[in-house]
Structure 1
Amino acid sequence: MTAVAGSDDLTRPQETGDRYHTRVSREPAFIERVEPTVWGDPGSAGMFGAQELAAHSRDGFVQVPDLLTGDEVAFHQAELDRLANDPAVRADERCVIEKSSDEVRSIFEVHRISAAVARLVRDERVLSRARQILGSDVYLHQSRINYKPGFGGGGFYWHSDFETWHAEDGMPTPRAVSCSISLTDNHPYNGCLMIMPGSHRTFVSCVGETPADYYRTSLTEQEIGTPDPDSITAMADRHGIAMMTGRAGSATWFDSNCLHGSGDNITPYSRSNIFLVFNSVENACVEPFYAPKPRPEYIGARDVTPVR
């Protein structure tokens, strides 16, 4: 059974002044969010219109069709292929290999490995939208490529990114937004991103203490920091599940506290994306709230220099 915030079992973390306690109790809890989703003025200059910002505030996500042109998609797809087949990249600690195969699963801090991705981070089509949502200058908390090849690309279990970033990276509040740019067509059947619309308004605390250096195993298969089945069921019953489908070049912007996940890809059709996480410079990470020490810089950046 899911507890409500304020039960006796959860008083210790509340007394520390942290609202979003997690991984410290025998029971999960639903904690209602108090911060906004769109921090900026709806009329502020940028690529998002007022209706798109309203949708993001309501649902926790908004899709942008054709963020990239066909030529740009082909260019970046070739870059992803180059990186995945570069022996030096595969040997780098920032590269994560699938547990069940020799395929590349993810490459972290990719904007420091690829000049093409670094340019995309600074692209006004991307950067202006991040500033509109977060209402401030932004820095890159995390960048990565996610590969989900056909015939075995592994899924990502239901989770809130903010739960992990709060517990393990020390991100104080959910004032961060992710941009997932598809470089392949996303279908309902090839492991597309799934989000529970409106789930960003509720923080689902998780059970289980964070082990030391947990990132070494969680990047291939996360267990600690994932909601329990009853909590997932309750949230799905409340919000439903939306599938983020669309053609290559489209982008999905979603709030850091959205419950989301994706299934395995057993089709012949690969799914890959560039994943950029922007955090407000006013929401810089501190010491982890519920982990022994911060994760490495390439997973959770601590340099808050604004992206220009």
Structure 2
Amino acid sequence: MQLNQEQLDQFATEGWLLLPELFTPEEVDLLRREAVEIYKEEREEVWREKDGSPRTAFAAHKYNEAFRLLWRHPRMIKPVEQVFGEPVYLHQYKINAKSAFTGAVWQWHQDYGTWKRDDGMPEPRAMNISIFLDEVMPINGPLMLVPKSQEAGDLEASHDLETTSYPLWTLDEATVTKLVEKGGIVAPTGKPGSMLMFHGNLVHGSAGNITPYPRKIVYLTLNACSNHIRKPTRPEFIAHRDFSPIECVEDDALVKLARSQSRQAA
């Protein structure tokens, strides 16, 4: 899969790009079912909100076959390699949950700020690329992005260890206000299977979810192999140490797994 010039130009200018319904309902149904099962597990990779509901599950490719295939899927990998002009490796893998009624806030932040401070990543040559597992709507805590904010570079941040169960290097209100005055705020929404990619320095966050509609999103953090982390401080299941270039699976790998599971269940 390759991005066209219009898509490349939008990413370069705005810092983000949404590809609607890139994965099929059959593929998404498989991933959604597997994500729900993962959230039921009691393991160190599954982090929870303060009320016990799931917040994020790390490194699912290590213990789940469907997500092992997804992290090597060409529809996710090839666009990022195209932008960076070199092979990429998997720096981080997580399945974020915004549970119905209880999903908590993600404060305003830049991802590269965390990757630099906590993992020793030299440059912002990594990005998040994500798949919507549920419909993302304006009402169920969509990711909010500040277009063009990647142009501000790496901003000063504070380490918030209190607001939620997940520590973040967060931005102050004055900084966010100034950036929003320039770029505004967008909240990409879409059907399950849509894919969002955004620059490592793009400012973003999300509000809590008080609706009956859950919002699960898979995030791959893909880093240029030449930009591998130097001084990781977080566990390996959060900041991976395997810097090998990703070798893609076949495009129909998820479909084959879904159909295999259906035959076994019949």
Structures share fold, TM-score greater than 0.5: yes
> Which residue of 188, 202, 205 corresponds with 1:261?
205
Match of 2:48 among 67, 90, 97: 97
Alignment partner of 2:35 out of 63, 80, 83: 80
Q: Would you say the 8 A contact 1:141–1:300 is kept in 2? A: yes
Unpaired segments ≥5 residues, structure 2: 248-266
* Pairwise CA distance, 1:222: 3.5
Q: Do 2:81 and 2:88's aligned partners in 1 also have CA atoms closer than 8 Å?
A: yes
The answer to whether the Cα contact below 8 Å between 2:104 and 2:164 also exists between their aligned partners in 1 is no
Alignment map for 1:12-161 (pairs within 5 Å): 46-86=1-41, 90=42, 92-99=43-50, 101-161=51-111
What letter corresponds to residue 295 of structure 1 in structure 2? R
Partner of 1:307: 246
State the TM-score, normalizing by the size of structure 1: 0.77
Contact 1:96–1:219 under 8 Å retained in 2: no
TM-score of the superposition, structure 2-length normalised? 0.88
How many residue pairs get matched?
247
Q: Could you say if the C-alpha distance between residues 278 and 219 of structure 1 is closer, same or farther in structure 2, counting changes exceeding 3 Å?
A: farther
Matching residue's letter, 1:181: I
- Aligned partner of 1:286 in structure 2 is 230
Cα root mean square deviation, aligned = 1.7
2:153 partner SS = strand
1: CA distance, partners of 2:174 / 2:93: 31
Q: After TM superposition, which residue ranges in structure 1, 4 or more long, deviate above 6 angstroms?
A: none
Amino acid at match of 1:74: D
CA distance in 1, matches of 2:163, 2:60: 19
Residue 144 of structure 2: aligned partner: 194
What's 1:30 paired with? none
Q: What do residues 272-308 of structure 1 show as CA deviations (whole Å, max 9, x unaligned)?
A: 01110100001011126xxxxx111111112201110
Q: Decide whether aligned partners of structure 1 residues 113 and 144 sit closer, same or farther in structure 2, where only a CA change above 3 A counts.
A: same
Contact 1:145/1:272 (8 A) holds in 2:
yes
Residues 228 and 204 of structure 1, relative CA distance in 2, 3 Å threshold: farther
The secondary structure found in structure 2 opposite 1:220 is coil
Structure 1 position 180, deviation (Å): 1.3
Give the match for residue 165 of structure 2.
220
CA distance in 2, matches of 1:53, 1:274: 22
Contact 1:204–1:227, Cα closer than 8 Å, also in 2: no
Identity %: 34
CA drift of 1:166 comes to: 0.5
Answer whether contact 2:146 2:186 (CA < 8 A) is retained: yes
The C-alpha deviation readout for 1:106-133, integer Å capped at 9, x for no partner, is 0111111211111111111111112111
* Counterpart in the other structure of 2:259: none
The amino acid of 2:223's aligned partner reads: N
The answer to whether the 8 Å contact 1:157/1:222 transfers is no
Task: Determine if contact 1:179/1:277 at 8 Å carries over to the other structure.
Answer: yes
Are the aligned partners of 2:53 and 2:102 in contact in 1 as well (CA < 8 Å)? no
Query: How far apart, in 2, do the equivalents of 1:218 and 1:192 lie?
Result: 19
CA distance in 2 between partners of 1:108 and 1:254 (Å): 19
SS in 2 for 1:139: strand
Q: Distance in 2 between matches of 1:230 and 1:113?
A: 42
SS in 2 for 1:168: helix
Which amino acid in 2 is paired with 1:93? E
Structure 1 residue 221: Cα displacement: 4.2
Q: Distance in 2 between matches of 1:149 and 1:73?
A: 18
Aligned 8 A contact 2:105 2:164 in 1:
no
Q: Is the 8 A contact 1:105 1:147 kept in 2?
A: yes
